[in-house]
Amino acid sequence: MCLATPSKVIKIKDDWATVKSGNHAHRVNLSLLKNIRVGDYLLIHDELAINKIPAGDAKKILEMIESHPYRH
């Protein structure tokens, strides 16, 4: 099962952003979204940003993932 996880935008160049979630950073394509800025939180699936979400919601989701007893 794949899960879209929130990641924070730390750099933008053209249609690509570098995002960070936890200690992991990677590049994602922004083609589906508009008006994305550094500091925004995005839902990411593979290398594609699929939605922008409020920072508070992103932090709640990340806390739930981190505290889940079956996390590997």
pLDDT at 27 over 60: yes
Is beta strand 24-29 parallel, antiparallel or unpaired with respect to 16-21?
A: antiparallel
Distance in angstroms (rounded) separating the CA atoms of residues 15 and 23? 23
Mean pLDDT of the 42-68 span: 90
> For all residues of the chain together, what is the average pLDDT?
90
67 pLDDT band, cuts 50/70/90, is: confident
Mean pLDDT of the 1-10 span: 82
Mean pLDDT of the 30-43 span: 97
Q: Which domains does the chain have, with CATH numbers?
A: 5-67 (2.30.30.140)
Asked if 28 and 48 touch (Cβ cutoff 8 Å), the reply is yes
**What's the pLDDT at 62?**
85
Going by C-alpha positions, the residue among 8, 63, 5 that lies closest to residue 40 is 8
